[in-house]
Amino acid sequence: MQCPATDFDAMTSATDFVFLLIEEFTHLAFACALEPLRIANLVADAELYRWQLSSVNGRTATSSNGATTLVGRGLVPSLRDEKLMLVSGLNVQRHITPALLAFLRAERARGTSIGAICSGAYILAEAGFLDTRKAAVHWEYHDVFAERFPTVKLTKSVFVVDEKFVTASGGAAVADLMLHLIARDHGRDLATAVADQMVYNAVRDGSATQRVSIRSRYGVRNSRIGQAIRLIEDNIETPLSSAEVAKRLGISTRQLERIFGRYLNTSPKRYILELRLHRARNLIVQSDQAITEIAIACGFTSTSHFSKAYRDYFGKTPGSQRSILS
């Protein structure tokens, strides 16, 4: 289908992308990056975008769902005006090698445009590209990212384009990013036509947050519960007591307990503890931080207390949780 609202010059030079697929990359994010470009060409009836696939070994890349993708190139220097996009996913730390970092630094020195999707911002940060810059990464990596790269201005937005290094958080957020880039390159009419072809009618701008609202997540319309949860989430390292949360909301502790009991079927104290334990599990699974450091980062002043609480909740100690993964 040709886009009737836009006239594309046949001589318009195509934009070239190179998708560097990192082992265990997320297939959904990759598809959301590639398909809008393919559909843009189809709708415009013109070759507006071209792409190549690459990997570290130059032959294949295997996604987190087990599918193996053939690629046409390895870590070779980009041609002029090619845009390099890193696509990663699970266990990103395991796949960051000196060769990969050296390649990225060489590409940066060459002036190559570099972006990253899903957990890819972690690789850019490891290469030293994101210091003092804003970046988006999949929300599951927020905890470990913030601990590892404190100078990066990590956002909860679905994507970031107002920086030298474009980043997107993964999943459908990558489609939002690509539609934004298509609109920037060729106008909103084409981007809208592409979204229509994708049957994608909830396109978000970069300021949208990754996770659904508290109201949607829990089916809760009470504003106080939302305010309480935000306070709790913003104070993981130095956790607030139920009384402190209630005081900041201007209500009594008993009122707060009633609200949590009614809408979440739990107590504020229990909710706070479970949130801290889930953050601890993320850090154990996704980082090599010492257990003691993780305990402190999650608001536990005693390692023994942390280990007991963790075992009571997850059925295993923090150390055994990590040993399962090694």
Q: 194-215 pLDDT, tens per residue?
A: 999 998 876 666 555 555 445 5
Asked if residue 4 is part of any domain, the answer here is no
- Both 175 and 221 in one domain: the answer is no
Which residue type sits at 210? Q
Q: What is the CATH number of the domain that holds 229?
A: 1.10.10.60
Closest Cα partner for 86 from 41, 39, 135?
135
Cβ 125 vs Cβ 99: under 8 Å: no
Domain boundary among 170, 197, 224: 197
- Both 226 and 192 in one domain: the answer is no
Asked if residue 2 is part of any domain, the answer here is no
Closest Cα partner for 89 from 23, 154, 3?
23
Domain boundary among 141, 163, 197: 197
- Both 179 and 223 in one domain: the answer is no
Cβ 29 vs Cβ 170: under 8 Å: yes
Q: Which residue has the tokens 């130095």?
A: 238
The total number of residues shown for the chain amounts to 326
Query: pLDDT tens digits for the chain (326 residues)?
Result: 445 444 555 456 899 999 999 999 999 999 999 999 999 999 999 999 999 999 999 999 999 999 999 999 999 999 889 999 999 999 999 999 999 999 999 999 999 999 999 999 999 999 999 999 999 998 888 888 988 999 999 988 889 998 899 999 988 899 999 999 999 999 999 999 999 999 887 666 655 555 544 554 555 557 788 889 889 988 888 999 999 999 999 999 999 999 999 888 899 999 999 989 988 888 887 777 899 999 999 999 899 999 999 999 989 899 888 766 55
- Both 24 and 143 in one domain: the answer is yes
- Both 192 and 110 in one domain: the answer is yes
Cβ 253 vs Cβ 246: under 8 Å: yes
- Both 53 and 180 in one domain: the answer is yes
- Per the structure block, which two tokens stand in for 211? 């996770």
Asked if residue 208 is part of any domain, the answer here is no
- Both 164 and 31 in one domain: the answer is yes
The predicted structure's pLDDT at residue 158: 87
Asked if residue 176 is part of any domain, the answer here is yes
pTM for this prediction: 0.72
For residues 277 and 292, what is the distance between their CA atoms, to the nearest angstrom?
14
Q: Where are the alpha helices (DSSP H) in 20-153?
A: 27-44, 98-110, 120-126, 142-148
Q: What is the CATH number of the domain that holds 137?
A: 3.40.50.880
- Both 120 and 22 in one domain: the answer is yes
For residues 216 and 271, what is the distance between their CA atoms, to the nearest angstrom?
18
Backbone angles phi, psi at 87, to 5 degrees: -125, 110
Asked if residue 8 is part of any domain, the answer here is no
- Both 82 and 182 in one domain: the answer is yes
Closest Cα partner for 122 from 22, 233, 235?
22
The parent domain of residue 270 ranges over 214-325
Asked if residue 319 is part of any domain, the answer here is yes
- Both 233 and 187 in one domain: the answer is no
- Both 229 and 174 in one domain: the answer is no
The strand pairing partners of 154, in sequence order, are 135
Number of domains in the chain: 2
Domain boundary among 167, 197, 227: 197
- Both 218 and 191 in one domain: the answer is no
Asked if residue 203 is part of any domain, the answer here is no
Asked if residue 9 is part of any domain, the answer here is no
